[in-house]
Chains A and B, each alone.
Chain A
Amino acid sequence: MFRTTRRKAAAGAVLAAAALALTACSSTTSLPGDENEADATAETNSVFADAPVASDDLILPGSTMEKIKERGTLIVAEALDAPLLSQQNPTDPDSVEGFDADLAKLLAIYILGEPNVEIVPPATETREAMLQNDTVDVVFNTYTITPERAEQVSFAGPYFESGLAVAVKSDNDEIKGIDDLDGKEVIVGANTPAVTAVPEQVPTANVTAFATDPAAVQALLQGRGEAYVQDYTLLASNAANDPSLKVVGTPFTKEPYGIGLKHDDAEFKSFINDWLLAIQESGHWAEAWKTTLGTVTDSDVPTAPEIGSVPGS
């Protein structure tokens, strides 16, 4: 038993870490359209239809891309318990749904021509090690780009920008945003950026960290805190699911998510950056957003962040 951690917002999954599919270690997710996934929805299909595929001359000899192509699967560190980002469907364990999950499949299509993804769920503290010892090829795990992390791993992207926001119980009219949290009991997810961001913004707030997102929501509803600070998209998903809480104000931080790569793999990094540009241009990036994160907000498709625009990327 033990505890732990997951990272970011997303799901907060603490206990999480691991798991995999049916057997010991990993599950190969397959694309809708495969013979074993006949029931895939048309909506999901639209994300992958006509997705860009890298031409052979981009797969440089001796590169990481070539290694992946020879293997025939892209090994990705991504969560299984991050709703809207990367969530395993317990009624259909082969399908992992969400924005991160879809982008990972799009990258697999780009390299391999088909969405062969093997998922290894990471714990927050194992992501760097997984890249360093070649357990995974890439990390799609709401991995915020920071200069400190960039000393141990390389980041492609950023591929998405989110931010922390505040959720309260629906009947709370007193708290309208982060500035109203002075002296309040504030709930955050363990191992999320909120752990450090909240004390920076409101030094007087009393922060309690819960390991998982459902735990944090439950704690908020039971009154263990007056506000819950978490990634905006995740809060939106919770609010859409449970009318007894609501998101107030707008995101007060910027969290640029990057794709984690082995340190100093410059070829692979520029290859992935080219792919990001390609899916942004082809509209696949926007389509992935619309069918996942976009389902819980009213806003338009956001502009993808500029590649390399963040220190550390």
Chain B
Amino acid sequence: MTAQLIPDRPAPARRSSRAPRYAAAFLYDEPGPQAKRRHLIGSLVSCLVFAVVVALGLWQFASHGQLDPEKWAPFTDPAVWQYLFVGLLGTLEATAVVAVLGAALGVVLAFGRMSHRVWIRRLSGGYIEIARTVPVLLMIYLMLFGLPQIGINVPTLWKLAIPLTIANSAVFAEIIRAGVLSLPRGQREAALSLGLRSTQATRLVVLPQAVRNVTPSLVTQLVSLMKDTSLGFIVAFTELLYRGQVLATYLHLLIPTYIVVTFIYLVVNGSLSALAAHLQQRLHRTGSPIPRLPRLPALSGTSRKAS
């Protein structure tokens, strides 16, 4: 049984027949009439509390004039949205570049860290540890100041993308390694016993399953990467948050501008998360060419490390 106690997204109210009605239905019995009533009251009370808090906030907000139409009027101008949209394109461009490079490098590093050769393992491990503990900001400054001093000057996008790739490849590597470690060892052994070469076993058997197991972490990291591209303002890269900043000074409107920018991030990143969750659900449903084996009882990753 490979049930996720907490799924990536809440189950819709109507669920297909066999699935448990509650996300964590293993934790408690199907509620009886009394429990159902209690849950209903709980739901109503929570909803009421949320609604009251939101309403109070909005009311206060309005009483401070923040909801005045003239504070929001500039955002009815398509040119303003176009301006922000160009910034968003920059954000997406940087995200895509770093995601591709970081994931590729991350896979190499992950397997490097699990290599049989000691020096490869040390090298990968050292890189991962350093890259994860140096603030990206510092690396950006080093790109900005250090490289030109030794005669190298790279295009603006790369001043942002290289430090982000360095940092994110280390994170991707750790996520992928966790995925590989979570696989039963038998998967690889079976692949080898079928006559696959070691690289084939990795490519065809281990990696696809490992990646699928850690898809939620990868998506979380991707979204976090997209937010980190707002560091682009340091290297003079056009992205969403910076354009929001320029807009705020131009309009002399701080709060509405940042609410709008926050909203754009929320919509874009939220759709990305939703898309990924959808893809993953489909993967779960259709399954891979290799039938899923029962998971080892409990913490395979931890127990292996401890042994």
Asked if the two chains touch in their complex, CB atoms less than 8 Å apart, one says yes
Specify which of A2, A21, A23, A90 is in contact with B137 (CB 8 Å cutoff): A2
Query: With A15-B241, A16-B245, A19-B238 known to touch, is A90 a contact of B250 (CB < 8 Å)?
Result: yes
Closest B residue to A1 using CB positions: B230
Closest B residue to A121 using CB positions: B236
Total count of chain A residues near the partner, CB < 8 A: 49
Closest B residue to A18 using CB positions: B236
Residues of chain B within 8 A (CB-CB) of A15 are: 233, 241-242, 245
A92 to B235 CA separation, bound complex (whole angstroms): 23
Closest B residue to A242 using CB positions: B252
A20 to B234 CA separation, bound complex (whole angstroms): 12
Query: With A24-B155, A24-B238, A89-B250 known to touch, is A1 a contact of B148 (CB < 8 Å)?
Result: no
Are A19 and B249 within 8 A (Cβ)?
Answer: no
A109 to B228 CA separation, bound complex (whole angstroms): 39
Are B148 and A20 within 8 A (Cβ)?
Answer: no
A120 to B144 CA separation, bound complex (whole angstroms): 13
Which of B79-87, B115-123, B168-176, B187-195 lies at the interface with chain A? B79-87
Per-residue B-contact encoding for A63-99, CB less than 8 Å = 1, 0 else: 0000000000000000011110001111111000000
* B254 at interface, CB cutoff 8 A: yes
Specify which of B228, B237, B246 is in contact with A24 (CB 8 Å cutoff): B237
Query: With A1-B230, A93-B83, A242-B252 known to touch, is A16 a contact of B153 (CB < 8 Å)?
Result: no
Distance between A139 CB and nearest chain B CB, rounded to angstroms: 13
* A238 at interface, CB cutoff 8 A: yes
A13 to B233 CA separation, bound complex (whole angstroms): 10
Residues of chain B within 8 A (CB-CB) of A123 are: 233-234
* B232 at interface, CB cutoff 8 A: yes
Residues of chain B within 8 A (CB-CB) of A250 are: none
For the complex, would chain A's binding face be called helix, strand, loop or mixed by DSSP majority?
A: loop
* B90 at interface, CB cutoff 8 A: yes
Closest B residue to A87 using CB positions: B250
Query: With A15-B233, A24-B156, A25-B236 known to touch, is A214 a contact of B248 (CB < 8 Å)?
Result: yes
* B59 at interface, CB cutoff 8 A: no
* A114 at interface, CB cutoff 8 A: no
* A38 at interface, CB cutoff 8 A: no
* A213 at interface, CB cutoff 8 A: yes
Per-residue B-contact encoding for A209-246, CB less than 8 Å = 1, 0 else: 00011110110000000000000000000100110000
* A129 at interface, CB cutoff 8 A: yes
Residues of chain A within 8 A (CB-CB) of B212 are: none
A122 to B236 CA separation, bound complex (whole angstroms): 7
Residues of chain B within 8 A (CB-CB) of A164 are: none
Are A22 and B137 within 8 A (Cβ)?
Answer: no
Residues of A1-49 at the interface with B, using a CB-CB cut-off of 8 Å, are 1-2, 4, 11, 13-26
Distance between A4 CB and nearest chain B CB, rounded to angstroms: 6
Closest B residue to A22 using CB positions: B86
Distance between B103 CB and nearest chain A CB, rounded to angstroms: 22
Residues of chain B within 8 A (CB-CB) of A242 are: 252
Query: With A16-B242, A25-B236 known to touch, is A129 a contact of B144 (CB < 8 Å)?
Result: yes
Distance between B186 CB and nearest chain A CB, rounded to angstroms: 43
Per-residue B-contact encoding for A103-142, CB less than 8 Å = 1, 0 else: 0000000000000000011110110010011110000000
Residues of chain A within 8 A (CB-CB) of B250 are: 81, 83, 87-90
A11 to B156 CA separation, bound complex (whole angstroms): 23
Closest A residue to B231 using CB positions: A2
Are A13 and B245 within 8 A (Cβ)?
Answer: yes
Are A25 and B155 within 8 A (Cβ)?
Answer: yes
Closest A residue to B135 using CB positions: A2
Are A241 and B252 within 8 A (Cβ)?
Answer: yes
Are B254 and A218 within 8 A (Cβ)?
Answer: yes
* B101 at interface, CB cutoff 8 A: no
Distance between B119 CB and nearest chain A CB, rounded to angstroms: 35
Distance between A10 CB and nearest chain B CB, rounded to angstroms: 9
Residues of chain A within 8 A (CB-CB) of B156 are: 20, 24-26
Are B247 and A19 within 8 A (Cβ)?
Answer: no
A129 to B140 CA separation, bound complex (whole angstroms): 13
Distance between B281 CB and nearest chain A CB, rounded to angstroms: 30
A22 to B153 CA separation, bound complex (whole angstroms): 21
Residues of chain B within 8 A (CB-CB) of A129 are: 144-145, 148
Are B148 and A133 within 8 A (Cβ)?
Answer: yes
A287 to B242 CA separation, bound complex (whole angstroms): 31
A132 to B145 CA separation, bound complex (whole angstroms): 9
Are B239 and A19 within 8 A (Cβ)?
Answer: yes
Residues of chain B within 8 A (CB-CB) of A11 are: 249
Are A91 and B249 within 8 A (Cβ)?
Answer: no
8 additional A-B pairs beyond A88-B246, A120-B236, beta carbons within 8 Å, are A1-B228, A16-B246, A18-B237, A19-B243, A25-B155, A90-B80, A90-B251, A129-B144
- Could you list which residues of chain B lie within 8 angstroms of chain A, going by C-beta atoms? 77, 79-80, 83, 86-87, 90, 93, 137, 141, 144-145, 148-149, 153, 155-157, 227-228, 230-239, 241-243, 245-255
The 6 closest A-B pairs by CB, nearest first: A133-B148, A18-B236, A91-B79, A25-B156, A90-B83, A81-B249
Q: What are 11 A-B contacts with C-beta separation under 8 Å?
A: A11-B249, A18-B242, A26-B236, A90-B79, A90-B80, A90-B243, A132-B148, A133-B149, A135-B148, A212-B245, A214-B252
